[in-house]
Structure 1
């Protein structure tokens, strides 16, 4: 042992240094990225926090390469379906929004800054311009999450009003079951504890009715717009999933988390099927979400407790067609709230704890580097259990070990990692993001 570092730790650091691929340009070269992706149809790009500029910017730059050179035709993000679809209309030259800032105004639920920030704004403008220049290789922007139960129900009714008013009336009657509740959380509480009507049957009936409509034509033999039809059907599917989720919120955390990530996976595969309808060979999707959703849960202590996630579901159900890349950081700053629904503020990120993957990568040296676990050499220490940090939209540095760390095996959890040793906070488009009192959801992870 020399200077407080054991021989084992020195060996692990040396192994990381030997395997690390420097990123002098800040991102993998196009050749390196495309080699890593290979023939994958799904590329899952994570983040260790919801408020770090470098994570967002690196994902955006890599996604540009995958769209321009890799044949990817969609970006699916950890965001609500209707809010993201407004952006999708904008990047495809539809809708009434004048610019990306307007298109991102659909994001009104806490935490707005996850998507209303300068990096996403610039990427959305780039994607619109790419689609204008090269419409034959246009790419869309979609949401995977399920918090928007009431909003999605309204979107279903609005769609039907324009194509079949009688069907819209049926949808209003079914969704009226939710009207006695002020918000989703209150509905979930009432349904879970028998204090109100359970609306599950009504939501399922509406989904089945809409699916039945989409198999043919509407009154007047007018064909349905396939994209808007898909949008409406996904909204109806979201209402059924969200209804289960909000009831499960008052049960175990594992149950509600599993329902949420199962919905993300179902939305991702439905989007893949939709893209394949017109472009069978180009149904390739880039996913942006937190490491906690994208890293394979089977390699974590949460997985041992019965929790799964999107990354695990993709690997199990779509074997061999996905790549998962996570991110880590040692220290710096982050944009986060002190409590749920609080205003965002820039917080210092504490240096990573000894015994964590972040600390090991920091000690190995290098400002920014890539570790690939799909080829040798893979540092053996990264196949064993280490602490891993997860900061969401709430950061609690005073209880960081309990609130933000869990055990995981990094090389089994991801196909690659990008480590950025010191990072900086996102720049939000809005100085304060406190639209009202929203339910404390699971947008941020914390240790079990």
Structure 2
């Protein structure tokens, strides 16, 4: 049986390619990512940059390069991360005001996948950039995930203490059962009512709280409360967990768009950025963003040939290295470029390229959990995707390596 596994994997890869004909495909449209001007995305309201796998240093580098280009060349001032809203507020304090260190900011984002020197380096670049520009031109960080409580509660209660100290203590007591440590268990009895009560208080006291603080501080406090509400509902959502999370992430990006009042970079896994929602049977975040923003949403997807990444082992729960390899038809679009960028509309001017980009091809896809067993079957780490429907541009990394944990 062990001898048969490589054969099974090879057959699966061939099946995943779907017999895609790459004859005539040319790499004439590829440019090194640092040289890509991203002019096609420059005027769009939202630009998404995906990563095919969490836990790869190259995809953090891709994310950083896209952010640098959009910030320096095109005036983007908001970066929205697939990270805890409250934790990202802590990271924003670092990049905009220098509070703490890049490493502390990376840890504050919430997920273990961000606790890396690579993410700290990305945050350090934003911090260093902000140190050279006026306040009005600083890049802000915002999170659109809702899977943690502690930092959201901390920020919410800080606001209540400032504007209504008499009610802050009762709000703290009512929310005391909601913690990061217990977030994977069913929420305590009465949690939904407790959060609803806090939101009701905030809305009923809007005018007074705005006078005591500011419109911006009030809006952010209400959103912290809404994030907590989403977290409570997510905890008890059962099989709908993933679908509800994507729906709320899309809503939260809408809130960020309203607050930022400018162009936004959205950084997340490919599965959340993809306009076609190829990875999911439900309406994913990317499909919702495409429906909301239309041509004002520019999605950049990523792919790899081989990848060694760090993620949680689904069997042991520990974070460890895994290696997978794909038979990626898209590789021919990129030639030997180590981190190549291809604009799909431009590349599609060539008939062979257009045929490939409109075919269903396997693209690498690994989230924040994996198993060594999965590496034996390519369908466990690829998603059949029509690139031209899913993305506006692609970045390909032939050999991706692991992040360096803090």
Q: TM-score, normalised by structure 1?
A: 0.77
Does 1:88 pair with 2:92? yes
Maintained 8 Å contact 1:367/1:422: no
2:22 paired with 1:12: yes
- Deviation track 1:356-408 (CA, whole Å, cap 9, x = no partner) reads xx244269742343232234325223323223321122232422335323322
Paired residue for 1:286, among 265, 272, 284? 265
Deviations along 1:332-364, one digit per CA (max 9) or x if unpaired, are: 4212232377343333x23214xxxx2442697
Cα 1:361/1:235, change in 2 over 3 Å: same
| CA–CA distance in structure 2, aligned partners of residues 181 and 151 of structure 1 | 9
- Residue correspondences, number: 382
CA change 1:134–1:28 in 2 (3 A) is same
Q: Which residue of the partner structure matches residue 59 of structure 1?
A: 63
Q: Using a 3 Å threshold, how does the CA distance of structure 1 residues 9 and 185 change in structure 2: closer, same or farther?
A: closer
1:438 match? none
Equivalent of residue 101 in structure 1, options 103, 119, 138: 103
Conservation of the 8 A alpha-carbon contact between 2:116 and 2:403? yes
**Is the Cα–Cα contact under 8 Å of residues 324 and 415 in structure 1 kept in the other structure?**
yes
Q: Using a 3 Å threshold, how does the CA distance of structure 1 residues 64 and 262 change in structure 2: closer, same or farther? A: same
Matched, 1:308 2:283: yes
Contact 1:72-1:285 within 8 A present in 2 as well: yes
Matches of 1:44 and 1:238 in 2, distance apart? 22
Say whether residues 1:22 and 2:31 are aligned partners.
Answer: yes
Give the equivalent residue in structure 2 for 1:41: 45
1:153 matched residue in structure 2: 153
Closer, same or farther in 2 for the Cα pair 1:337/1:187, shift >3 Å?
Answer: closer
Q: Who is 1:246 aligned against?
A: 235
Structure-2 residue corresponding to 1:279: none
Write the mapping of 1:255-270 to structure 2, written as runs, cut at 5 A. Answer: 255-270=240-255
| Aligned pair partner of 1:413 in 374, 383, 390 | 390
Q: Which range moves more in the overlay, 83-92 or 386-395?
A: 386-395
Higher RCO by CA contacts (8 Å cutoff, separation 6 or greater): 2
Give structure 1 stretches of 5+ with no counterpart: 189-195, 277-282, 430-448
Could you tell me how far 1:240 is from its partner in structure 2?
1.3
Distance change >3 Å, CA 211–CA 30, structure 1 → 2: farther
**Using a 3 Å threshold, how does the CA distance of structure 1 residues 211 and 351 change in structure 2: closer, same or farther?**
same
CA distance in 2, matches of 1:406, 1:61: 25
1:323 matched to 2:298: yes
**Cα deviation 1:231-290 (Å, max 9, x = unaligned):** 322210111111221111x2x2xx2212111221122111121122xxxxxx11111110
The equivalences for 1:195-210 within 5 A come to 197-210=189-202
Q: How large is the RMSD of aligned CA atoms in angstroms?
A: 2.8
Report the CA distance shift for 1:198/1:389 in structure 2 as closer, same or farther (over 3 A): farther
Alpha-carbon offset, residue 94 of structure 1: 5.8
Q: Secondary structure at the match of 1:419?
A: strand
Pair 28,181 (structure 1): closer, same or farther in 2 beyond 3 Å: closer
Could you list the runs of 5+ residues in structure 2 that have no partner in the other structure? 1-13
Q: CA deviation at 1:297?
A: 3.8
CA gap of 1:340–1:261, structure 2 versus 1, over 3 A, is farther
Inter-partner Cα distance in structure 1 for 2:160 and 2:107: 24
What is the distance in 2 between the residues matched to 1:78 and 1:182? 20
How far is 1:148 from its partner? 0.7
In structure 2, which of residues 337, 352, 362 is the aligned counterpart of residue 367 of structure 1?
337
Deviation at 1:41, TM superposition (A): 1.6
Query: So what's the TM-score if we normalise by structure 2?
Result: 0.85
Instruction: Give the Cα–Cα distance (whole angstroms) in 2 for the partners of residues 403 and 89 of structure 1.
Output: 39
**What does residue 9 of structure 2 align with?**
none
Q: Partner residue of 2:222?
A: 233
Aligned residue for 2:402, secondary structure, equals coil
Partner of 2:11: none
